C-alpha cells in the first residue's frame, strides 16, 4: 500500500467457519478494523475501505475471531502488509522487493504425524502460549536465501502465537535496526541482538561479503530485570524461560551471498521524524494491569506438576512440590480484574486526546501488549527511557515480568461510539482466554 491512497479490500470467507481479518497496526475506522465484531460468515465477502494513514513501515493482517484467534492464526490466517511513502523511497535504503528488501514472517509450528499443523490446547499451551518446535519463514521449513546484493533489508514479523524471538547472526555480527512496528527509526541503530515478541515488527539492514554465508538465528530469550521478590535473576529466570518455552536456539534463515562487488554507501544518518508527544501534554494516564488468575498459590494445585514438566524432564522437581508456580498462574486471563466481554466497553477515549497508557505486568511471564487504532511511542520502562532500537512508532510493546511500561499516543481522526477497538495481550492464547479489553473513541 502507498501512504495516502484509499484502498478497497474484498475479504471473501471461503472457510466453513466464521472469521475476521484485522489490519494490525493500521489506523482505520473502527468498523473497518476487522476485530471480533466484524465477523465474516462462511461464504460472505467483507469489503472494508480506508485511507492509508501511516508512515512507511511493515504491518500485517490476521484473523481476530473472538476466542478463536489462536487457532485460526496457527492454521495460516495471517499475512504481511508493506506501506511505502515518498520520504522513505528517497533514502537510498534497499527497496527492491524480493531482491534486497525481504519480508520474513517468522512462525513456529508443531506438526501432527500426517503433516498437518497441530494446534494443541493443553493447559500448558493455554497458560504459556502455543509453541511449535519447527520454524517456518514465509511458510518455508529450513529456508535459505540467495543474495545478489551486498546490503539487505530484512522486514521481520513475529507472526507466532506466543514465541518471543531473540534475533542475531551466528557470527555475532553487527546489523542496523532501521524500523519498528509503525515507522522507521529517526536514525539507524547498531545492534547484535533484537528481541521481537508476537505481533511486533522490525526492519534491519545487514551487509554481506561476496561468496560468504551467514545465518540469522534466534537465541534464548533474555527478559529484563524483574520485580524484587520475584526472583527473576539467575536460576529462577532460566527456569521461567524454560517453562514458558522461550529457551531454544533456532536457525531462522541462511543467507548465501553470490558474487558482487562490495560497494555500499554509508546508511543515511537521518531516516524520518518520529512524532514526539510530550508527556506534559497528555490529558490523562490510564493504568492497565495484566493478570493471570491466582489459583491456590505455591504448593497448591497438586496435579499440575506433571503438566509443567511436559517433555522437559526434571522441571517438576525443580519447581517444588505440587506444581508451585504453575498453580499460581492457572485461572482466567484478565486486565484490571476483568476478562474480555464483547458487550462491555472498558474505556472511552475522547477524539483527539493525547493519553498515556501505563501497562503493569505483575505476572512471572512476559506479555506483548497491543493497542488497535493508534501508533504510540514508548515513554519509559520502570521510569527509564526506552532503548534506541524501540524508539520508533509502535503498536505492540513487550512488558516483562515485574515491569511497568508507559506509552503515549494521540487518538485522532476516527470516532465511533458503537464500534470498539481492542487492546490485548498478543500471546494469542492469552487473548483468547480473556486478556483483552475494548475502547471506543467518542466525538
Contact positions toward ligand C2O, by CB under 6 A?
22, 24, 62, 64, 199, 370, 372, 422, 424, 426
**134-137 and 140-141: which strand pairing?**
antiparallel
Residue 131 makes contact with Cu ion by CB under 5 A: no
Q: Minimal CA–CA distance to 393: which of 205, 204, 202, 222?
A: 202
From the list Cu ion, ligand C2O, none, pick the one residue 424 interacts with, judged by a Cβ distance below 5 to 8 Å according to partner type.
ligand C2O
Residue 24 makes contact with Cu ion by CB under 5 A: yes
Contact map string, positions 316 to 355, toward Cu ion, x by CB under 5 A: ----------------------------------------
At 262, list the grid cell: 562490495
Least separation in angstroms between CB 75 and ligand C2O: 16
Q: Among residues 24 and 195, whose Cβ is nearest to ligand C2O?
A: 24
Contact 305/316 with Cβ under 8 angstroms?
yes
Q: Among residues 182 and 188, whose Cβ is nearest to Cu ion?
A: 182
- E strands, 130-275, are 134-137, 140-141, 144-147, 151-158, 165-169, 175-179, 184-191, 194-196, 201-207, 213-218, 250-257
Contact residues for 231 (Cβ-Cβ < 8 A; gap 6+): none
Q: Please state, in angstroms and rounded to a whole number, the distance separating the CA atoms of residues 405 and 398.
A: 9
From the list ligand C2O, Cu ion, none, pick the one residue 367 interacts with, judged by a Cβ distance below 5 to 8 Å according to partner type.
Cu ion
Q: Among residues 257 and 425, whose Cβ is nearest to Cu ion?
A: 425
Q: Among residues 162 and 272, whose Cβ is nearest to ligand C2O?
A: 162
> According to CB under 5 A, which one of 196, 425, 436, 441 is a site residue for Cu ion?
425
Q: Scanning residues 349 to 408, which ones bind Cu ion (CB under 5 A)?
A: 367, 372
Q: Among residues 85 and 395, whose Cβ is nearest to Cu ion?
A: 395
Q: Please state, in angstroms and rounded to a whole number, the distance separating the CA atoms of residues 363 and 226.
A: 10
From the list ligand C2O, Cu ion, none, pick the one residue 406 interacts with, judged by a Cβ distance below 5 to 8 Å according to partner type.
none
Could you please report the per-residue DSSP string of 251-298? EEEEEEE-------PPPPS---PPP---GGG-SEEEEEEEEE---S-T
At 278, list the grid cell: 510530550
Residue 427 makes contact with Cu ion by CB under 5 A: yes
| DSSP reduced 3-state for 330 | coil
Q: Among residues 151 and 370, whose Cβ is nearest to ligand C2O?
A: 370
Least separation in angstroms between CB 62 and ligand C2O: 6
Amino acid at each position: 500500500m502507498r501512504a495516502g491512497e484509499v484502498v478497497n479490500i474484498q475479504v471473501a470467507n471461503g472457510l466453513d467457519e466464521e472469521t475476521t481479518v484485522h489490519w494490525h497496526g493500521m489506523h482505520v475506522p473502527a468498523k473497518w478494523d476487522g476485530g471480533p465484531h466484524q465477523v465474516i460468515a462462511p461464504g460472505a465477502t467483507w469489503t472494508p475501505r480506508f485511507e492509508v494513514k501511516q508512515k512507511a513501515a511493515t504491518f500485517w493482517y490476521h484473523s481476530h475471531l473472538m476466542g478463536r484467534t489462536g487457532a485460526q492464526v496457527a492454521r495460516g490466517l495471517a499475512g504481511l502488509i508493506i506501506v511505502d511513502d515518498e520520504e522513505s523511497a528517497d533514502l537510498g535504503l534497499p527497496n527492491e522487493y524480493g531482491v534486497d528488501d525481504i519480508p520474513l514472517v517468522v512462525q513456529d509450528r508443531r506438526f501432527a504425524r500426517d503433516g498437518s499443523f497441530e494446534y494443541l490446547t493443553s493447559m500448558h499451551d493455554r497458560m504459556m502460549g502455543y509453541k511449535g518446535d519447527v520454524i517456518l519463514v514465509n511458510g518455508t521449513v529450513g529456508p535459505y536465501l540467495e543474495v545478489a546484493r551486498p546490503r539487505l533489508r530484512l522486514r521481520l514479523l513475529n507472526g507466532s502465537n506466543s514465541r518471543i524471538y531473540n534475533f542475531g547472526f551466528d557470527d555475532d555480527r553487527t546489523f542496523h535496526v532501521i524500523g519498528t512496528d509503525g515507522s522507521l527509526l529517526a536514525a539507524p541503530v547498531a545492534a547484535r541482538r533484537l528481541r521481537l515478541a508476537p505481533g511486533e515488527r522490525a526492519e534491519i539492514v545487514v551487509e554481506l561479503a561476496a561468496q560468504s554465508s551467514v545465518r540469522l538465528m534466534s537465541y534464548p530469550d533474555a527478559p529484563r530485570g524483574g520485580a524484587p521478590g520475584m526472583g527473576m535473576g539467575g536460576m529462577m529466570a532460566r527456569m521461567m524461560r524454560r517453562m514458558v518455552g522461550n529457551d531454544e536456539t533456532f536457525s531462522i534463515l541462511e543467507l548465501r551471498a553470490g558474487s558482487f562487488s562490495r560497494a555500499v554507501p554509508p546508511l543515511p544518518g537521518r531516516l524520518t521524524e518520529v512524532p514526539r508527544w510530550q508527556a506534559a501534554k497528555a490529558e490523562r494516564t490510564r493504568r492497565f494491569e495484566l493478570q493471570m488468575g491466582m489459583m491456590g498459590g505455591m504448593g497448591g494445585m497438586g496435579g499440575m506438576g506433571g503438566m509443567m514438566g511436559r517433555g522437559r524432564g526434571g522441571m517438576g522437581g525443580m519447581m517444588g512440590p505440587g506444581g508451585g508456580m504453575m498453580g499460581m498462574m492457572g485461572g482466567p486471563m484478565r486486565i484490571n480484574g476483568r476478562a474480555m466481554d464483547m458487550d462491555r466497553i472498558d474505556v472511552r477515549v475522547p477524539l483527539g486526546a493525547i493519553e498515556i497508557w501505563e501497562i503493569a505486568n505483575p505476572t512471572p511471564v512476559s506479555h506483548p501488549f497491543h493497542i488497535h487504532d493508534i501508533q504510540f511511542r514508548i515513554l519509559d520502562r520502570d521510569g527509564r527511557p526506552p532503548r534506541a532500537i524501540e524508539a520508533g512508532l509502535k503498536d505492540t510493546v513487550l512488558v516483562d515480568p515485574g515491569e511497568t511500561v508507559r506509552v503515549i499516543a494521540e487518538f485522532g481522526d476516527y470516532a465511533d461510539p458503537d464500534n470498539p477497538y481492542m487492546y490485548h495481550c498478543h500471546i494469542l492464547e492469552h487473548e483468547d482466554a480473556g486478556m483483552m479489553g475494548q475502547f471506543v473513541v467518542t466525538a
